[in-house]
Structure 1
Amino acid sequence: MEYRRTTVRDMRRSNRSVILTDIYRDGPLSRHELSTRTSLSAASVSNLVTEMIAEGIVEEAGSVESEGGRPRVLLRVAREFRYVVGAEVGETRVRVELFDLAMNVLATVDYPVDAPEPDVVVKHVLEGLTSVIGTSGVRASDVLGLGVAVFGIVDSAAVVHAQTLGWDAVPLGQMLAEGTDIPILVDNGANTLGQAEMWFGAGRGATDAVVALVGSGVGAALVTGGSSYRGTRSSAGEWGHTTIMYGGRGCRCGAEGCLEAYVGAEDVLDRYRQAGGVLTAVDEEAAFAEVLAAAESSEIAAGVVDDTIGYLAAGFANLVNLVNPERIVLGGWAGLLLGEHHLPRLREAVGRHALRQPYSQVSIVLCELGRDAVALGAATLPVLRLLRDGGALPPPKVAAG
């Protein structure tokens, strides 16, 4: 085993990272609060904060009264220090958004896609990057990075393995990097959604959670001890391809009986058609909403919806029994549509499948950031790297999320 000696420079960057992360995640905070939260001395906090203010990454944000002393100055990350771009690569569209560091949307562009082939995806992501930068007036040199959320497994070299769509070791990060000098970071869409919800949404305050993404496909972000759990080679969270029924419906991945084959939007609509249901909507999202609405008056639709709730509940119960999370957050456009109509029924059904003790310890809630939060989550990838590096600006390299 090779050991590396920790230097004073390493310690300084680590301390900056701790301070900057606290300010970003929970600010505005005073120097006194930072010293208490980080266990660093007041002098160390003051020196590092002064340094980061001089660099422009931290700024003062007013003051609050203190007990028996002078008002305490509050600190926050300067939202216009740099900018970030997030891209959501879906099965029917590519969305690209530009944000400031407070995660305010400054520009958005959408590209519909019939089939998300790698070359098409790269073309639209790079076009979108150019578009949002040009529309916003932000200088490309002020963009920290482009985070890209994709389906499938993303390895450490930003290579994508998306079995359900025929992507076999696609070097997506490299392909994107050939078209821009802006640093590229790539991760699975469920993971980016999970990070966004843990930072800004329904996951805040939880240390052990699952953020489930239910759309055309199905995935999950696993958070344990406050950190994302990736497994040995970053493929943890492929919850949609856990077996829910032995010898069941064929899944797009080639296996049988996967959870995705029962609760993924495409498969829900397929089950509805096979049961004799007729759809008037062509768009997948509109068709899914049509089935939910028809359940009020149609026995076929009601049966499909009931079964979908049951299958999803069984999938959640497996998570409850295996992972023992304190919170399950349901997101993705189809998950939110289903949850908005049937969350109480879903909770009740989970309780029938899960063990009583772990079920009593979990709350099941909906994502708070909406149906389009995946691109926001993708944009947090360069922010996360900035925080980890203590505010050091990155070189133009490709990296996995």
Structure 2
Amino acid sequence: MVARNRRTVRDLRRENRSAVLQRLYFDGPLSRFELGPATGLSSGSVSNVAADLLADGVLEEAGNVDSDGGRPRTLLRVAPGSGHMIGVDVGETRVRVELFDLALTELARSERPLESDGYAVGTVVGHIRDAVAEVLTAAEIAPERLLGVGIGVPGIVEHSAERGAVVHGQTVGWDGVALEELLREGGVLPASVPYFVDNGARTLGQAEMWFGAGRGARSAIVVLFGSGVGACVVTPEAEDGRAVEGGHLTVRVGGRRCRCGALGCLEAYAGAEALLERWREAGGRPPRGADQESALVALVAAAERDPDARALLAETAEYIGAGLSDLINLFQPERILIGGWAGLRLGPALLPEVRRHAAAYALRYPAERVSVDLGGLGPDAVTVGAAILPLADFFAHGGRRAEPVADGPEPAWRAALEERAPR
């Protein structure tokens, strides 16, 4: 028996709205005439969808353009003020929270430093809650207007129907932390505003693929170098990217002990925390009282005159290249992008040697077909990528907020009517 097509009229409308919205978002403003070929929809479908989105306030008119002998065509674009998102970067040295409009224009930000013992769950949750309230107040945005809050965290994120997002951050001492549940308790946001919690490397990858150096690539690996190391892999089979623990590839058997407890991880040599510790062991002297970012800047500067610091960075470039070669062999990407605050600090000094070592350690065929470059979005990329999570969900729902999941199955009469509706 041939299975019935379960797509309903509602599904088709949502998909058409999503197609128009995304095309206008990335390539707009465009006229209705241009939207037809760009989306593959008929002129009638484009007109209907555009009318719906204009009525909902998601689109707005953006002037006119002359046509070939006819009436001027009205241009459409996504209305920036029709939605707002918050992006949260839970780094290992600070919590950064930014509020954006739909065009990803920053409206407000708040940053809370984390002390050496500040990764206690209660501390991080408190920082997120307070900073979310602060940016909403600063921009005079009501919490109900948010499309959602995206949060990038270190570690593996498990999504549970009962507890929401649960974080397994072994290197920071988080063992099954129900972060979403904790944020809901006494938080400032109503239950209608969703949280989107994911690995920070994946949010970085999302940002680079949408707006940065990964745009246009079918496959890429975005590597986040901060206190630790993470990675996001984007392939045709996983277009939205998936986080992988790239920092825990073994680059030296029986090597230094990593924060995860294993020996010889890439993070134990190339993560900022471990790299600065290796510099101290070699006799280096970071500025007194400097945080990790300032200390890393000092290390790069010291390498210009200190042969020990220079040798340390050269060795680090080889470890990074060896780690990237494993990713090249496993996934054969078109591009590898290096980001994160530490990656952007180290990249200009190390990139030529990282490329050379990656090519030397990888198989020749995939190595000849991959480029290795720095990310294009700067140190805020994780926060921007976190804000993209609710934005992507908004697009997936055709420019409408996700409806709460109803308890129990859909009534049989409703499903039958939708199946019989004309396509």
Shorter-chain TM range is over 0.9
Kindly tell me the number of residue pairs found equivalent between the two proteins.
391
Residue in 2 that maps onto 1:199: 210
Residue in 2 that maps onto 1:116: 119
Q: Partners in 2 of 1:162 and 1:188 — Cα distance?
A: 10
Note if 1:213 corresponds to 2:224: yes
Q: Match of 1:212, SS? A: strand
Q: Where does structure 2 lack aligned partners over 5 or more consecutive residues?
A: 406-423
Q: Where does structure 1 lack aligned partners over 5 or more consecutive residues?
A: 231-235
Kept in 2, the 8 Å contact 1:90–1:116? The answer is: no
Q: Partners in 1 of 2:38 and 2:68 — Cα distance?
A: 18
Instruction: Tell me the TM-score normalized by structure 2.
Output: 0.88
Residue in 1 that maps onto 2:355: 347
Residue in 1 that maps onto 2:143: 140
Q: Partners in 2 of 1:68 and 1:316 — Cα distance?
A: 56
Q: Partners in 2 of 1:11 and 1:140 — Cα distance?
A: 31
Aligned letter for 1:103? L
Q: Partners in 1 of 2:317 and 2:30 — Cα distance?
A: 43
Instruction: Tell me the TM-score normalized by structure 1.
Output: 0.93
1:92 Cα shift?
1.5
Note if 1:107 corresponds to 2:112: no
1:4 Cα shift?
7.9
Q: Partners in 2 of 1:118 and 1:4 — Cα distance?
A: 46
Aligned letter for 2:230? G
Deviations 1:87-111 (A, max 9, x none): 1111111111111111111111111
1:14 Cα shift?
1.7
1:356 Cα shift?
2.5
RMSD of aligned Cα (Å): 1.8
Residue in 2 that maps onto 1:177: 184
* 1:316–1:47 Cα change, 3 Å: same
Kept in 2, the 8 Å contact 1:177–1:183? The answer is: no
Residue in 2 that maps onto 1:369: 377
Kept in 2, the 8 Å contact 1:95–1:111? The answer is: yes
Q: Partners in 1 of 2:101 and 2:219 — Cα distance?
A: 29
Residue in 2 that maps onto 1:233: none
1:68 Cα shift?
5.0
Kept in 2, the 8 Å contact 1:183–1:396? The answer is: no
1:382 Cα shift?
0.9
Answer with 1 or 2: which has the greater Rg.
2
Residue in 2 that maps onto 1:154: 157
Aligned letter for 2:228? G
Aligned letter for 1:59? E
Note if 1:163 corresponds to 2:170: yes
**Quick one: which of 251, 259, 265 aligns to 2:258?**
251
Residue in 1 that maps onto 2:316: 308
Aligned letter for 2:329? N
Deviations 1:132-189 (A, max 9, x none): 0101112222111111111101112311000111111110011112212132111111
Note if 1:317 corresponds to 2:325: yes
**Quick one: which of 189, 198, 202 aligns to 2:200?**
189
Q: Partners in 1 of 2:241 and 2:382 — Cα distance?
A: 18
Q: Partners in 1 of 2:270 and 2:139 — Cα distance?
A: 38
Kept in 2, the 8 Å contact 1:318–1:354? The answer is: yes
Aligned letter for 1:214? F
1:290 Cα shift?
0.9
